[in-house]
Structure 1
Amino acid sequence: MSNQGLIIEERSRDIGDFLVGRILPFRKKRMVGPFIFIDHMGPTIIKDGHYMDVGQHPHIGISTLTYMLEGEIIHQDSIGTTQRISPGSVNWMVAGKGVTHTERTPMDLRDGSEFIAHGYQIWVALPKELEDISPEFHHFKIQDLPSWKDQGTQYRLIAGNGYGKTSPVPVHSELFMVDVKAEERYELQIKGELQGEIGICIVSGEISACDTNIREGNMLVSKAEDSCSIVLEPKTHVILFGGQPFKEKRHIYWNFVSSSIEKIEAAKKRWENRKFPKIESDTSYIPLPK
């Protein structure tokens, strides 16, 4: 690969009954635009005794974006939200100064039958001046998101701005996240359509860029203005994400992200002392990792 970009391979991480592919952060690339954390969940077969049950855990300094390709999850948070997320829809939770949430397999799907769970868990860092805003939650159905076709290739703008369109997801910085599915061989136009740093997650299939073939399970990181041609091979599904990077460094510890180490230390003590807001009727608690 030339100096136009960096190829990042998913690294396996075990989260209880699930094996996920960690894409960001990476030792040579901690962020792509404001995106600081991306886990690729599955595709995993969910069956009796192996349901998703992520108990109460906290966040600060970020917005979380959950995007499912297959399967469903129930999200609950300390703001009072209970929201089921289905394939193609978007859950957008602004953690700000502090929020607690859970993610679980819906009760009506715990009937012993098997189904596939496949999606992305994403953290977008908030601008420094907005890190302490009040928590919010927003949900958008698949039909709420801009979608269009070009030469038979299907586009959907998940968040931010791109290709002359704007997603309704209320982002706090200059960013984009676009879902692209190509049935036939297709040259992907990025220059002039997206701004800033860009990550290209290959969900399935294969792309060629700068005379290099990159298969699913990998991510290409580049700049939107680079001249390198990107071609999607037939039956390829990619997710584009990125935007303008922040000037300040972001620190990350467990589920806490901030431009301030002191704020992270304070959040750790708050969680250990059980001072974070809680979800009513939920007694679960994930301890701070040592």
Structure 2
Amino acid sequence: MSNFRLLNILFIFLLVITFTIGCDISDKNQVEEGINDNWPADGVYFMKWDSYHGYFEGEEPYIQLSIIQVHSIAQENEQSYKKYILISDKGEITVTSANYFPGPKGEKYSLYTLGLRLPKMKPGRYIINKLRMIDSNNQQKIYDIGKWVIDIKKGFKPKDLDLGKKTFISGYFDWYRVEILNNTQEKIYIKNLDFQLKIPVKTITKIGKDFNMTEYLDEEPYVEPGETKVFQFEFVSGVNDNNPKFISLRPFLYYEINNKNKFTILPTAIYSPVVNDKIILELVKSLN
């Protein structure tokens, strides 16, 4: 099973879990709070992500967008579109393939994930904030999708490191955890993660005895030849913001070997909060 398909399954699974947890709380208060009477007009609403994806040249970027479809009556299918175009600071990027993945449904809404495959692009940093969708009648709509930084660097994935277990999905933007195996005959020094989000973030590196981090090790961030170590990169932000955050992160990992600085890319991790009907309603109203 490919990492992309596994990520889709895990993302939908997270939506189901967070929706179920939220419903246990919200169902008891819906009538009292009048939630079912306050929904905005029927339509498609895109959650605004704060995301960063790193790639090597020659790779085809892939992003996932979250959609809330508000409907006054039950709907079976999402709108069909024939063309998707992402709008970046470097011009338009035509999507090469798109797939919808259905998620949980409420009385007034349905959740979907829209997976978009981008073409191979020249090295550089592309800042994407809008999506244009064109239907079969050539009618088009443009949506604000937040901020997606696609950072493409020259070079190819090095063979110095292998990755074991890693973070795929979390309900909070708290850390990225990964097992790192040194494939070389030289000691490797793990330096830092490199990414850029809208919110300022500092990263603290910690080493664990195992992937569950049952014990922290007071060691230098080295990986000996043939050794596997667990690294947890903890995120610290000075911004006091309790609003729900939707973050997709595919960071660069910098390391040093033989006095040379090198980098590789870690797989995508998705950070999406627990939501219930009330939070979804607030999100939709904020996007309206």
TM-score by length of structure 2 reads 0.29
Q: Which has the larger radius of gyration?
A: 2
TM-score by length of structure 1 reads 0.29
Query: Greater helix share, 1 or 2?
Result: 2
